[in-house]
Amino acid sequence: MAKVIEEATEIIDLLYKHGWDERNGGNFSYILTDEEVQTIIKEEKEIREFKYDFDMSSLIGKYFLITGTQKYFKNCLKDPETNLGLLKVKDKDTLSLLWGYKDGGRPTSEAPTHLKCHIERLKKDKEHRLVIHCHPTNIICMSHILELDENKWTEILWKMQTESLVVFPEGIGVLPWIICGGDEIGEATALKMKEYRSVVWAQHGLFSTGKTLDEVFGLIETIEKAAEIYMKICDKKVVQSITNDNLKELAKAFNINYKKGIID
Ligand code: 2HA
Ligand code: ZN
């Protein structure tokens, strides 16, 4: 198996084992380099094409590894060629399947949202490569009990543990419940991606983005761990916690450019 498929499916498997991608929950899209593509296919031959109704011209020529619709994260490691597809952006509205979806499948229903997020994140960071959507339990719990104010979410998550500010200094975006798989949630998520690498979908889950598999997995782990701590202490009497001054001291010591206007 190509190394890049092995690495990607190992991360997908870990997400499943953490309980963040039950059944067909979650989806994954990863920009591959030409060299990585050549380790999967010898020559480029289109198997099928998929049409979309939004403009992805800025992605033309890029290769993506994308989970299939109705596919389970649980199964990706043992059968990548059925559960994942390698696609090239052939035209401003067309993806060309070069490998995968062996059973006749197609890209995840959230592919337009993923691609719109890639477009926005690439404007912010040329090295951006990965979007992962998952259903972390404690993030979903928090969205039931906390008002959907992203500065408030950011402050709480930063104050749950020392690592949070270091790992997501830009904070976290939060969207209300919106029907998934559609244009509205896709546009809203991509808009948040102008500012954040991670966006919460209330009562649904999380979208996280970044450069590498480790970075994005680590971002999800850190956010979900902060949420877990919050859910464990939110109904307890807290006698001491991380203060605004502590966070500012941390930012200074680690030279972190965090989002202003929350703890200042
Ligand atoms: O179908 O998680 O958001 C998988 C999902 C949809
Ligand atoms: Zn989902």
pLDDT score at 90: 98
pLDDT score at 192: 98
Q: Is 110 a catalytic residue?
A: yes
Angle in degrees, CA 43, 49, 50, rounded to 5: 140
Instruction: Name the burial class of residue 67, with classes exposed (0-12), middle (13-18) and buried (19+) by CB atoms within 10 angstroms of its CB.
Output: buried
CB 40 within 8 A of CB 9: no
In this prediction, residue 193 has a pLDDT band, given cuts at 50, 70 and 90, of very high
Burial 173-182 (b: 16+ CB within 10 A, else e): bbbeeeeeee
| Any atom of ligand 1 within 6 Å of the Cβ of 27 | yes
| Any atom of ligand 1 within 6 Å of the Cβ of 178 | no
| Any atom of ligand 1 within 6 Å of the Cβ of 189 | no
| Any atom of ligand 1 within 6 Å of the Cβ of 26 | yes
Those residues whose C-beta lies under 8 Å from the C-beta of residue 212, and which sit 6 or more positions away, are 129, 130
Render pLDDT for 86-119 as a digit per residue (tens, 0 to 9).
999 999 999 999 999 999 999 999 999 999 999 9
Q: Which of 110, 177, 200, 206 to mutate to test the pocket of ligand 1 (most atoms within 8 A of CB)?
A: 110
Measured in Å, residue 252 CA sits from the centre of ligand 2 at 37
Among 228, 259, 104, 102, smallest CA distance to 161 is for 228
Render pLDDT for 61-78 as a digit per residue (tens, 0 to 9).
999 999 999 999 999 999
Mean pLDDT score, 184-199: 98
In this prediction, residue 59 has a pLDDT band, given cuts at 50, 70 and 90, of very high
- Residue nearest (by alpha carbon) to ligand 1 atom 4: 25
Q: What does the alpha-carbon distance between residue 177 and residue 205 come to, in Å, rounded to a whole number?
A: 10
CB 124 within 8 A of CB 113: no
* Index of the ligand 1 atom closest to the CA of residue 201: 3
Rg from Cα positions in the chain = 19
pTM beyond 0.95, yes or no:
yes
- Residue nearest (by alpha carbon) to ligand 1 atom 3: 180
Q: Quick one: tokens of 173?
A: 């975006």
Which residues does residue 99 pair with via DSSP β-bridges, in sequence order? 86
Neighbours of 103 (CB within 10 A): 11
In this prediction, residue 122 has a pLDDT band, given cuts at 50, 70 and 90, of very high
Q: Quick one: tokens of 33?
A: 């380099």
Mean pLDDT score, 77-90: 98
| Any atom of ligand 1 within 6 Å of the Cβ of 24 | yes
* DSSP at 20: S
- In the set 22, 44, 110, 155, the catalytic residue is 110
- Average model confidence (pLDDT) across the chain: 98
CB 121 within 8 A of CB 193: yes
